[in-house]
Structure 1
Amino acid sequence: MANQKLLLIDGNSVAFRAFYALYRQLENFRNPEGLHTNAIYTFKNMLDVLLNDVKPDHVLVAFDAGKTTFRNNMYADYKGGRQKTPGELSEQLPYIQELLHDLGISTYELENYEADDIIGTFSRIGEENGFDVTIVTGDKDLTQLATEKTTVMVTKSGVMNLEAYTPEHMKEVNGVTPTEFIDMKALMGDNSDNYPGVTKVGPKKASQLVQEYGSVENLYDHIDEMKQSKLKENLLNDKDKALLGKKLATIDCQTPVTIGIDDIKRKDIDYPKLRRFYEKMNFRKFLSELDPNAADSENQNDENEKVLMEYTELTKDNLAKVDAKEGDTIVFYLGMLGPNYHLADFVGFAFKIAGQIYVSRDVDLLKEENLQHLLEDEKIKKDVFDLKRTTVGLNRLGIHAHGIDYDMLLASYLINNENNSDDMAEVCRMYGNNSVRSDLDVYGKGKSEQIPEDDKVLFNHLATKAEAIESLKETLLAKLKEHEQDDLFASIEIPVARVLAKMEINGIKVLPDTLTQLQDEFAGELSKMEKEIYEEAGEEFNINSPKQLGHILFEKMGLKPIKKTKTGYSTSVDVLNQLKDENPIIEKILSYRQIAKIQSTYVNGLLDVIQKDGRVHTRYLQTLTATGRLSSVDPNLQNIPTRTEEGKQIRKAFVPSQPDGYIFSCDYSQIELRVLAQVSGDEQMQEAFRTGYDIHAHTAMRIFHLKSTDEVTPLMRRRAKAVNFGIVYGISDYGLSKNLNISRKQAKEFIDNYFEQYPQIKDYMDKAVKVAREKGYAETIMHRRRYLPDIHAKNFNVRSFAERTAINSPIQGSAADIIKIAMINMQQKLDEMHLKTKMVVQVHDELIFDVPKDELETIKKIVPEVMQSAVRLDIPLVADSGYGHNWFDAK
């Protein structure tokens, strides 16, 4: 019978490697709340490979408990030379631990000891219990733990390029055994851990001495037998350093751990928590990989918890029972299968009126005169779960809903925007109602979703949803009032949901011929690039195959591999960016990939979603982000590339609905920086905006101590721009250094100079954290709250992220509020003036309109006016506009 397997992972070390594996894409890896996620993402990928390869029965990921350990008592400067861990990595460490716990994997840290010592202790415990042990680390110090039963896997570069250290391999590489490696380290010292060795003794000489004498102690026992030499002199002078170095280098394999081998056995995956974690981190790839049939205990309601509702099935014969009059409030729920309600199959519907629930599968009944009247009458108020989804769904049936003034999903979102689930069952559970089953349970999961054939199952499900909307309304409205968010709910979120529904129903016209032409052009460019790449490589191969590309680059052309994956060499964008200067083929491959992505994601992607009316109808996610910003999906119209010429060409396909009409674009200028100037009250920044300065040039002038903006160079302006926007997002010296490709010291100087020149911004940041600590939340200028339960967390990294969130949420959230108010006011203006112009797209601080030719002059005047007057600030809001016969020309 094969031995059980124990996997021990050096959490801090591997997280560090994971962070730097994707640090060039740092700003691309953020979740909707602004948390950096590159280390979490890479750590998860690494973990998948390890679990698959090792197939362990027991797993432990060890972390350092703090900055000081027993080694600092021996030597105060131990690890003293190390740079401070980047904040962008520190903030991710608690979430890596959360991920591990959700995956059923144990973590452990021990005060006064390093992760190395925990791993050393458990490697020996594992051996004593008959386990085959695998250790994974980025630190070669742990190779001293290698035995016949323990293999130490060390990351060479990147994350998954691992080198296996066994006693035999240690002898080959270092000429010493694993235990002798400790003595070798003692003699040569360690720059990383910041302890000195013997003067002028490097790895080669240290290895020779250990091979000859076996240990540091034995060396000094026989040092008198050595010939007089400079080496002997140095050994004698530095004897105390060598003996101290051995103590510092020795991993403690008998730490007082409080858990045993049975405590680190792999546990079952907690699928509900893992799913929520992936959603929170915006890890769509990992979400798609979840087993749709995996046990989901939170969604498997016990039979005793399933409430059997009393309801009446509606038919054409009893429709007269459903009746309401002016001033009444009714509950309505429209069931649809799947998230994309523009295309989803209808499941059925439910009304609750005067205590009675009515249900049916047949949504065509809603077109009957009395039911349609109920839904379209403005004076009969409707309570729903999701206003926008319901409005769009009814519009597909030819019903123009009015009078919806309560949205359960929006209310729940405002009360607690950290939990942004759009599943009614999840929302209900938050408030103690366990009767509603998830759609995933009732309709099936993944591709197997289908409408239940059993009427009782479906009708009960629809009825419980209608009941839940009504039963929780009073609770949710009371909480909104308690949080002083009732006005935000009624005056911004509900009205903007109506505006978004109109925009989604309108859609925007897209010319398939233009996309097809671009498809041909890009195909020609890709074909040309392929030939150039083949010429550089000396042969033809599949450029899209990482395995074949890796063979060409790293085996045939001899480029140095950065990291490996379980299938070979990594050829990720990050890896290729690091190799750009090594060979011209790399730049060609990167360009090829960029155009290929634009072709597949945007050209082909848009062609696939143009509907029968010649338009694309995106969905705006109103409850996704904690800041209140809107997101666009199916398709994502907010993410069409603008930085490359090829990406910009996509916008030529977006055109007005009338042949002689116009696409009109208007966007706020520096909205977030203007909000920063407002909330901070900084006089220097406010004055710059009042006088119409180029804010980035003005900032450059101040932080570089120039006399006027005329002296500002393009490089200075670019750096000042990075600092300006970095401050909004709570950037660290590390993050700024990477953005600008400068040293951390220089980046820190830029940030320090910035706060010196704009002192009230620093005061604002300090005050924002203080207020968040006192109140437990941050707030926008329109009183949108973001609750920060971690602002008092004992864990420094968790608390630091909450503090950063307290600073930037009021800025990003206020900008989101302003554009929402502008949208509401703009739609109201269009309606008041009876204009045919339609608002069709929102891209964060930009609004796009489909304008008939004869309304262009009117729109040119009123849109900037409405946007600039959305809210009254101490500084002017500025909105820049443009127009053309397509979206490309409008910019």
Structure 2
Amino acid sequence: MRKKALIIDGYSLAFRAFYGIPLLSTPTGIYTNALYGFATIMLKAIETIKPDYLLIAFDRLEPSFRHEAFEEYKGTRQKAPAELVSQFSLIDEYIEYMKIARLEKAGYEADDILGTVSHILRDQDVHSYILTGDRDAFQLINPLTTILYPGSRGMSDFQFTDPEWIKEKYDLEPEQLIDVKALMGDPSDNIPGVPGIGEKTALKLIHAYGNLQEVLENIEDVKPKRAKENLVTYREQLDLSHYLVKIVTDVPLESSPEEWLLQEPDNSKLRSFFDTYSLKSLADRLPEQEDVSLSEALEEVDFPEYDDLDFPALLKKLEQDDLDILIYKENEPDLESALVEFFFLFKNNKAVKLGPDQEMMAKLAEKLKDKEFSAWNLKGLAHLIETYPSKADDLHLQAYLLNPGQNLSIDSLFASMVLEGANRAATAGDELEELWQLHKLAKELAKGIEERDLKELYEKIELPLSEVLYQMEATGIGVKLEVLGEISKNIENEINQTQKSIFEVVGKEFNVNSPKQLSQVLFEDLGLTGLKKTKTGYSTDAESLERLIDDHEVIELIIKYRGLAKLKGTYLDGLIPLVDTQTSKLHTSFHQTVTATGRLSSSNPNMQNIPTRTPEGRLIRKAFTATKENWRLISADYSQIELRILAHLSQDEHFVDAYKQGQDIHRRTASEVFNIPFADVTPDIREKAKAVNFGIVYGISDYGLSTQLKINRKEAQGYIDRFFEEFPAIKAYQEKLIKEAKEKGFVTTIFNRRRYLPEINSRNFNLRSFGERAALNTPIQGSAADLIKIAMIRLNKAIKENNLQSRILLQVHDELVCEAPPEEEEILKELIITAMEEAIVLSVPVVVEIYSGDNWFDLK
């Protein structure tokens, strides 16, 4: 059987991986997306080809012979982003542990090494597969050399490019592509080619004459005339281009094929490497091994052992012994009543397993409610045993505070915080291993919380909030399905009427939901000017339609149709199945460990996304009610809390003064920025000032503000400049904030919540801009998030102390929604206002607006 070789174009693969995968980083901010993509694509290629030889070619930093011939060669290329460059050393380390031959040669490029190696191996009857994203390598193709070109799915498929593929695609032989490239040039490498000759003309010439030499020998017959003239005028440039594009195949290499043979990787070092950089999916692909690297890393591994106890014995043990860690596993989650297994680790290192038995839950809850122990996701445990363990620690919350915005897993945290990159050994069982990991992690997490001064944030805010959220989730909120059904029916009628109006305006029926058909109607039938071209025609996305709204009356109807269709499909039809038909309640899930700023999020449904900006969307809130008959809903909302926090943090005297005087801050901004008397500010001007105020909080650009206000960028920048002229302390505060973030790598809220921003020092403009906006926004949005969390804890405590039946139901943005029986409505309002307004002392007043009604719609 013929042997096979896999030859990899190193930097080509690294660049493709970097740009093909969203930016990834470890909990400590080290970028890994290029490394991950590089390894994934390469492993897929190895799995696909099963090579006998494996090697990787790299470019050198010093100039090649092509630079000596043409100083401007590749002169238009931008430097690689810092986020990619920082990963080159990681890729080198990975290659070392994979034991792959690495080839490079001064004066030559990786392409030349690819060509030389494939030619050497061809002479030995070895079939070479070259993995590269560079089409220049197509010229190397022959019966024993195939290009593996990463396909449309990037990391999961390859285009096998062989002579037959080239023939079908170009109707040429692979070596003829050298002449085509010489004629047309290559802007990406700054190869000039012949002016006026593009790919189409170059292909015609080579199809007609066979090769470049024949083209030049028959120059008088060449058409078109301009091509003939330019071939004569730029002959020297053409010769140079041909020299630059031709890959050499005789590089004097200093290694032999014996050194390129496939080697067995160092799996021990690879496992440590992957764990260090939080690449669990790659680590999982390594073969299982039986080693003692954990012992070596941790001096001693005292693995827990199971105690075979029945349930009564377990209850007795819970009374007598100190519990360390508790985990739970839900099996068969598709069943209405999930089967749950509990695994207990006691401080004497004995483990106990409790099998699924719903009848035991009440007794277990009684033992756990006042027990000190640690768990991963206490709120989830509380729902299972229907009791919140008030003295337990939540390791998931601790990990989140140390690594906000990261996708946290026990394995990755254990590898980075406990093993510091050492190998994980094979263990006696998954649950025992997890118990042991959490036992070790608990110490490291507690240490991290202490060292980063996060103890108060954890103990006074996040941990007690978890219990409040558990109670809110268990309570749910009332939903009248008949109201949702009526709204859905009305929206459907309006959708049909709007569609009918669209057909009448354009003069024909078509599928409004089809971007292709809609594009044809707008840009071909109606003759509107398209803005962005796609594969199926001009774009009909929301941005494009908004910019066309003044060009034809149908655009407004289409936007309305889409809005109504989304409202019905996502928020009405999607909401109804989530309501418990037995209790007419909806139980959303609140998440503490998702956002990077500390804001809560929710799912099933996402309450933050319930529409409020359109009249039709707001109607959905009519269906949300108290959970008990005749009880009232009460809504309390912080008034402009983020702007008040900005005033406090910046100490801008004009901003602070406006709030102290109880002025409308948007009218005050309008008066200052637009230089008009306060009394003369119109609603339209106030709205513009409002957009400026909130835009400043989010670090808005002139482009962002111009899009929002539908004005040109120059005018938008003028608004921003005048804002900072009138409120200079805010400008100074923001500049200081960005400077400190670049120095420290993170920003903090008033309550010392941290957000790490590795992007802020990026050389990539977009990444750096994101980091700077996050640095400006996080201290404000994060402080507002902390503030309402404190208010929720205080309010929940006050409700209990006053022995009220009232309850908190929802938290949405800066709003709390509660319910109360009629006789408790007024006292609950007082408690809400006190809890929210006194949760923090700012240098400006904290104001809460409060409303009550029979449903959520009526609260404002």
TM-score scaled by structure 2? 0.68
Structure 1 residue 483: Cα displacement: 1.9
Q: 1:353 to 1:178 in 2, by over 3 A?
A: closer
| C-alpha separation in 2, matches of 1:266 and 1:557 | 63
- Equivalent position to 2:309, from 313, 322, 330: 313
| C-alpha separation in 1, matches of 2:90 and 2:728 | 37
Residues 366 and 372 of structure 1 are in contact (CA less than 8 Å); yes or no, is this contact kept in structure 2?
Answer: yes
Residue 180 of structure 2 is aligned to residue 181 of structure 1? yes
Pairwise CA RMSD: 7.2
Q: Deviations over 1:797-848 (max 9, x none)?
A: 8888666655543333222211211211222232333333211111232211
Structure 1 residue 727: Cα displacement: 0.5
Residue 411 of structure 2 is aligned to residue 411 of structure 1? no
| C-alpha separation in 2, matches of 1:649 and 1:492 | 34
Structure 1 residue 55: Cα displacement: 6.5
Q: Which position in structure 1 is the counterpart of 2:803? A: 834
Q: 1:205 to 1:93 in 2, by over 3 A?
A: same
Q: Which amino acid aligns with 1:382?
A: E
Q: Which position in structure 1 is the counterpart of 2:699? A: 727
| Superposed counterparts of 1:63-102, under 5 Å | none
| C-alpha separation in 2, matches of 1:67 and 1:560 | 43
Residues 196 and 241 of structure 1 are in contact (CA less than 8 Å); yes or no, is this contact kept in structure 2?
Answer: yes
Residue 751 of structure 2 is aligned to residue 782 of structure 1? yes
- Equivalent position to 1:818, from 787, 791, 801: 787
Structure 1 residue 385: Cα displacement: 0.9
- Equivalent position to 1:633, from 576, 595, 603: 603
| C-alpha separation in 2, matches of 1:670 and 1:178 | 64
Paired residue secondary structure (1:431): helix
Q: 1:31 to 1:232 in 2, by over 3 A?
A: closer
Q: Which amino acid aligns with 2:396?
A: L
Q: Which position in structure 2 is the counterpart of 1:869? A: 838
Q: 1:198 to 1:493 in 2, by over 3 A?
A: same
Q: Which amino acid aligns with 1:413?
A: Y
Q: Which position in structure 1 is the counterpart of 2:330? A: 337
Q: Deviations over 1:250-303 (max 9, x none)?
A: 7899999999988999999x99999999999xxxxxxxxx99x98896999999
Q: 1:606 to 1:719 in 2, by over 3 A?
A: same
Report the more deviating stretch, 534-543 or 859-868.
534-543
Q: Which position in structure 1 is the counterpart of 2:815? A: 846
| Superposed counterparts of 1:656-805, under 5 Å | 656-683=626-653, 685-687=655-657, 689-690=659-660, 710=681, 713=685, 716-717=688-689, 720=692, 723-727=695-699, 759-772=728-741, 774-775=743-744, 777-787=746-756, 805=774
Q: Which position in structure 1 is the counterpart of 2:341? A: 347
Residues 492 and 821 of structure 1 are in contact (CA less than 8 Å); yes or no, is this contact kept in structure 2?
Answer: yes
Q: Deviations over 1:360-407 (max 9, x none)?
A: 435644534xx6654455xxx5223156426633653xx5654x2533
Q: Which position in structure 2 is the counterpart of 1:499? A: 468
Residues 549 and 571 of structure 1 are in contact (CA less than 8 Å); yes or no, is this contact kept in structure 2?
Answer: no
Residues 688 and 698 of structure 1 are in contact (CA less than 8 Å); yes or no, is this contact kept in structure 2?
Answer: yes
Q: 1:600 to 1:237 in 2, by over 3 A?
A: closer
| C-alpha separation in 1, matches of 2:344 and 2:747 | 38
What's the % identity of the aligned pairs? 28
| C-alpha separation in 2, matches of 1:500 and 1:825 | 13
Q: Deviations over 1:725-751 (max 9, x none)?
A: 5407xx6x7777777788888877776
Q: 1:522 to 1:575 in 2, by over 3 A?
A: closer
| C-alpha separation in 2, matches of 1:279 and 1:715 | 47
| C-alpha separation in 2, matches of 1:809 and 1:836 | 36
Q: 1:623 to 1:556 in 2, by over 3 A?
A: same
| C-alpha separation in 2, matches of 1:703 and 1:233 | 61
Paired residue secondary structure (1:667): strand
| C-alpha separation in 1, matches of 2:242 and 2:417 | 55
Q: Deviations over 1:641-680 (max 9, x none)?
A: 3345554333222111233333222233443344344334
Q: 1:471 to 1:219 in 2, by over 3 A?
A: closer
Alignment gaps of 5+ in structure 1: 20-25, 281-289, 444-457
Paired residue secondary structure (2:597): coil
Residues 65 and 110 of structure 1 are in contact (CA less than 8 Å); yes or no, is this contact kept in structure 2?
Answer: no
| C-alpha separation in 2, matches of 1:828 and 1:222 | 93
| C-alpha separation in 2, matches of 1:391 and 1:750 | 51
Residues 77 and 194 of structure 1 are in contact (CA less than 8 Å); yes or no, is this contact kept in structure 2?
Answer: yes
Q: 1:151 to 1:771 in 2, by over 3 A?
A: same
Q: Which amino acid aligns with 1:809?
A: T
| C-alpha separation in 1, matches of 2:492 and 2:481 | 16
Paired residue secondary structure (1:382): coil
Q: 1:880 to 1:515 in 2, by over 3 A?
A: same
Residues 664 and 881 of structure 1 are in contact (CA less than 8 Å); yes or no, is this contact kept in structure 2?
Answer: yes
Residue 356 of structure 2 is aligned to residue 367 of structure 1? no
- Equivalent position to 1:855, from 824, 827, 836: 824
Q: 1:685 to 1:241 in 2, by over 3 A?
A: farther
Q: 1:154 to 1:772 in 2, by over 3 A?
A: closer
| C-alpha separation in 2, matches of 1:632 and 1:887 | 18
| C-alpha separation in 1, matches of 2:490 and 2:776 | 46
Q: 1:230 to 1:519 in 2, by over 3 A?
A: closer
Q: Which position in structure 1 is the counterpart of 2:382? A: 392
| C-alpha separation in 1, matches of 2:808 and 2:752 | 26
| C-alpha separation in 2, matches of 1:261 and 1:577 | 54
| C-alpha separation in 1, matches of 2:78 and 2:687 | 27
| C-alpha separation in 2, matches of 1:364 and 1:395 | 10
Q: Deviations over 1:841-868 (max 9, x none)?
A: 1123221112333333344444344323
Alignment gaps of 5+ in structure 2: 296-300
Structure 1 residue 629: Cα displacement: 2.0
| C-alpha separation in 2, matches of 1:261 and 1:560 | 52
Q: Which amino acid aligns with 2:591?
A: L
Paired residue secondary structure (1:595): helix
Residues 632 and 638 of structure 1 are in contact (CA less than 8 Å); yes or no, is this contact kept in structure 2?
Answer: yes
Q: Which amino acid aligns with 1:512?
A: L
TM-score scaled by structure 1? 0.66
Paired residue secondary structure (2:699): helix
Q: Deviations over 1:142-178 (max 9, x none)?
A: 888888867798999x999x999976578689xx953
| C-alpha separation in 1, matches of 2:253 and 2:546 | 44
Report the structure number with the largest CA radius of gyration: 2
Structure 1 residue 247: Cα displacement: 7.4
| C-alpha separation in 1, matches of 2:709 and 2:265 | 43
| C-alpha separation in 2, matches of 1:764 and 1:110 | 52
Q: Which position in structure 2 is the counterpart of 1:446? A: none
Q: Which amino acid aligns with 1:724?
A: I
Paired residue secondary structure (1:663): strand
Paired residue secondary structure (1:727): coil
| C-alpha separation in 2, matches of 1:208 and 1:144 | 18
Q: Which amino acid aligns with 2:681?
A: D
Q: Which amino acid aligns with 1:367?
A: A
Q: 1:212 to 1:549 in 2, by over 3 A?
A: closer
| C-alpha separation in 1, matches of 2:60 and 2:777 | 29
Residues 606 and 635 of structure 1 are in contact (CA less than 8 Å); yes or no, is this contact kept in structure 2?
Answer: no
Q: 1:102 to 1:222 in 2, by over 3 A?
A: same
Number of residue pairs matched by the alignment: 819
Q: Deviations over 1:177-236 (max 9, x none)?
A: 5323344335xx95x88898888888888889999999999999999999xx99999999
